[in-house]
Structures are given as C-alpha cells and as structure tokens.
C-alpha cells in the first residue's frame, strides 16, 4: 500500500476534482507484478491500468489500491468493479473508502458477491490524507477551478502599455493548451477579451471528444461581435455570463452570432456574482475549469473562494513600468499570505512552471 500511495502522487495536480489513486498488482505467489495510477482528469483509473498491465498474471493474485474501486457509472470512465472481477484476482486490498455517496461501500458488496476476498482500511489514515482535497470537494456545487497566469520576473502579467499578448514562451503555451483540453471550461473576463482578443484554443488530439466551453464574464455584454471568441462561436461553444437585466439588444447580437448567454444575479459591485456564476456553470455540467483572467476577475474569484489550484509560469523577462499584476488590489501581510500546497516546480522551455493547491480557508465558497 505504501508503494501504491507513492505511485498515486504522479497524478497530483492533473486529476482534480478526482482523487489521486495508485494501485499495484501482486501475482498468485505474492510477487509485485504491475502498477497503475490515475494520470489525468478523464483518464484511465489506477486499478484498471494496473490490471491491464498485469494481464493474465493478475489471475489468482492481489490488487492493492489506495481508494475503493468505483462502482457508479455517472462519470467519464466506466466503473472499475467489473474490470476487477474480470481480471481474476482473488483478493482486493483497499486503503480508504470513497467519500462520494454515489459509490461508497458498493465495491465491497459487489466484489464479495463475486467471490473475491475484500479488505479495506490498510494504511487508511495516509490514504485518506492523500485524497483530503477531493473529499472536501465532493458535494460542493461548483467546478474545481485552476487559476492560470504567466508573469515576468517582476510579477507583471502584461507590459505597461498592454501591447503584450503572451508573457510566457512557446512550450508554456503548448502546456496551457493541453491543460485546457482537459477542462470542461476555460474562463476569462471581458478585459482579457478586449486586450488580447484570444481564441483559447486547445491541443489537438487531446483526450476529449469536444473542446471545453469558452466562458466570458461580461456583466453588461459589452464584448463586440468582432471578437475572435464571438466570430468562432459557431465552431467552438462560447458562453457569456452576464447580470440579469443586461441590455437585451447586446444579448440578441451575441446570440445571433452563435454565442450562448447565461444571466446570474449581480454582486455588490453590480458585476456578475462570482459564486452564483460558478454554481450555474456546475449546473451546466462544468466540473473542472481553467480561469485565465486578468488581475480584475482573478482577484474577484480568489476573494470569492472559488479557486482550488494554481498553475503559473514565470518568464525570464523584466517588464517594469507599472504593468498589471495577477491580483489587482488584493494583499496579505507575509505571515498570513496564502502559500501553495503540494507545490511542483518544473522547467518548461525557458520558463519556470509553478503549480500547487490554493490553500484552504482563503475565501469560503
């Protein structure tokens, strides 16, 4: 189980809102035979991967998995329990029970009914700790949200005159397109559309049959129909989130260009209420979202507590001159400043990529 827990970590920051899961298979003599982990959101499950690799060597053997195998079908991949039964293993050893009420306890019943010995609770505390953020997110009616931004060495997301379209290099942008293709939605604010006119494209050949929906927070629907996101709305779904009572004329203009419009209540600042908007996106089936806004919407989302994970790029360039920063107007004294958890730092091309979970308790939704 210790080995399975280590292997599970390879999926961290890639699988959320799913839990990280690791699995190993022992053959009938108890020899370590194969391993698997849940690699990314929408990707294969750990136990199915481990059993696939083991093939016939799993017969009469033991499957060890950090989390109870799933038995419910309301998700992207088929349930794992039938694959476990078909593999011919004699014993299943599980770390933590699944806190998701749709599946909890079902694997034990189904596997025992199939004549498989089932034991749960091995290294339970460590297994539960490995899925703590998942357990907290189950039942929350908003998407798991990854805030993404790129800065210069001096912390600017754009140059002072707003002419920069990209701060990071080519490799970083490829990674961003790949992450987008593993999300249900990519969110920007009206300011980013106005400044950069992005198309928010994804990596071709990604794991999804359909690209993520492109979402623009635009309280009064002021985005011009000439914007790329609107001009391509018939090919790639594009949704504008506005406040109730936004001008009907603007709504008609965007809708007749092929865009969708969703209205939610206004917040105190008379802009889109962030929490209401994220709940509405969840109702529309958005489970994992990438927030690629400028400093204004990014700050509003952090304050509203709807950010779970951060993916940033730091480019070896200095912009100076008072250019904008990722969170306009938000500040903390160093002792209370949010620090990412489960931090991972990697080099991508000439940029640094820094990722982690946004700490709990900063914001509250």
Ligand X SMILES: NC(=O)c1ccc[n+]([C@@H]2O[C@H](COP(=O)([O-])OP(=O)(O)OC[C@H]3O[C@@H](n4cnc5c(N)ncnc54)[C@H](OP(=O)(O)O)[C@@H]3O)[C@@H](O)[C@H]2O)c1
| Residues binding ligand X (CB under 6 A) | 149-150, 157-158, 162, 167, 188-192, 195-196, 217-220, 222, 267, 271-272, 274, 292-298, 300, 324
Least separation in angstroms between residue 220's CB and ligand X is 6
What whole-number distance in Å separates Cα of residue 267 and Cα of residue 11?
A: 36
**Residue 187, phi-psi category: left (phi > 0), alpha (psi -120 to 50), beta (remainder):** beta
Residue 336 is classified by DSSP as: G
The token pair at 342 is: 């489960």
Using omega within 30 degrees of 0 as the cis cutoff, is the peptide bond preceding 17 cis? yes
The token pair at 284 is: 């529309």
Q: Of 5, 9, 4, 8, nearest to 344 (Cα)?
A: 9
Least separation in angstroms between residue 201's CB and ligand X is 15
Q: Of 176, 255, 181, 187, nearest to 218 (Cα)?
A: 187
State which residue, 3 or 265, has the beta carbon closest to ligand X: 265
Least separation in angstroms between residue 274's CB and ligand X is 5
What whole-number distance in Å separates Cα of residue 186 and Cα of residue 214?
A: 5
* Active-site option among 47, 68, 292, 355: 47
Q: Of 301, 305, 269, 282, nearest to 188 (Cα)?
A: 301
The token pair at 201 is: 């494209």
State which residue, 36 or 294, has the beta carbon closest to ligand X: 294
Chain position carrying tokens 């990529």 = 353
Least separation in angstroms between residue 134's CB and ligand X is 27
Least separation in angstroms between residue 76's CB and ligand X is 28
Chain position carrying tokens 């979970």 = 357
Q: Of 150, 230, 145, 239, nearest to 183 (Cα)?
A: 145
State which residue, 163 or 209, has the beta carbon closest to ligand X: 163
CA 307 to chain centre: 10
State which residue, 181 or 312, has the beta carbon closest to ligand X: 312
Q: At what angle do helices 295-304 and 274-283 cross, to 10 degrees?
A: 80
Q: Of 272, 295, 279, nearest to 147 (Cα)?
A: 295
State which residue, 89 or 157, has the beta carbon closest to ligand X: 157
State which residue, 206 or 267, has the beta carbon closest to ligand X: 267
State which residue, 259 or 272, has the beta carbon closest to ligand X: 272
What whole-number distance in Å separates Cα of residue 80 and Cα of residue 124?
A: 20
Least separation in angstroms between residue 155's CB and ligand X is 11
Least separation in angstroms between residue 297's CB and ligand X is 3
Is 47 annotated as catalytic? yes
What whole-number distance in Å separates Cα of residue 182 and Cα of residue 290?
A: 9
What whole-number distance in Å separates Cα of residue 150 and Cα of residue 352?
A: 10
Positions annotated as catalytic residues are 47
């Amino acid at each position: 189980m210790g080995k399975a827990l280590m292997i599970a970590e390879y999926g961290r920051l890639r699988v959320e809102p799913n839990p990280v899961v690791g699995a190993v298979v022992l053959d009938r003599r108890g020899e370590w035979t194969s391993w698997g982990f849940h690699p990314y959101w929408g990707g294969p499950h750990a136990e199915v991967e481990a059993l696939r690799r083991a093939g016939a060597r799993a017969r009469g053997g033991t499957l060890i998995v950090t989390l109870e195998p799933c038995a419910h079908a309301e998700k992207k991949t088929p349930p794992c329990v039938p694959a476990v039964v078909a593999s011919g293993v004699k014993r299943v050893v599980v770390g933590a029970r699944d806190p998701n009420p749709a599946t909890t306890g079902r694997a034990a019943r189904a596997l025992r009914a199939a004549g498989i010995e089932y034991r749960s609770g091995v290294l339970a505390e460590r297994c539960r700790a490995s899925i703590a953020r998942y357990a907290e997110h189950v039942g929350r009616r908003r998407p798991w949200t990854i805030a993404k931004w790129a800065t210069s060495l001096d912390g600017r997301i754009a140059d002072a005159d707003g002419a920069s379209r990209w701060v990071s290099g080519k490799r970083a942008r490829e990674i961003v397109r790949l992450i987008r293709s593993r999300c249900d939605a990519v969110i920007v604010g009206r300011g980013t559309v106005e400044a950069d006119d992005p198309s928010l494209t994804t990596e071709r050949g990604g794991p999804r049959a359909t690209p993520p929906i492109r979402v623009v927070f635009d309280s009064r629907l002021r985005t011009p129909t000439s914007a790329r996101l609107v001009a391509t709305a018939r090919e790639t779904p594009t949704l504008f989130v506005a406040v109730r009572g936004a001008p009907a004329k603007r709504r008609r203009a965007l809708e007749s260009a092929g865009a969708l419009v969703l209205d939610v209540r206004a917040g105190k600042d008379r802009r889109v209420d962030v929490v209401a908007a994220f709940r509405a996106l969840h109702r529309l089936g958005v489970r994992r979202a990438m927030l690629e806004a400028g400093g204004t919407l990014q700050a509003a989302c952090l304050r509203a507590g709807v950010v779970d994970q951060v993916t940033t790029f730091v480019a070896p360039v200095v912009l100076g001159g008072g250019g904008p920063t990722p969170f306009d107007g938000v500040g903390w004294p160093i002792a209370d400043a949010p620090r990412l958890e489960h931090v991972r730092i990697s080099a991508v091309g000439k940029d640094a990529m820094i990722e982690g979970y946004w700490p709990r308790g900063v914001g509250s939704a």
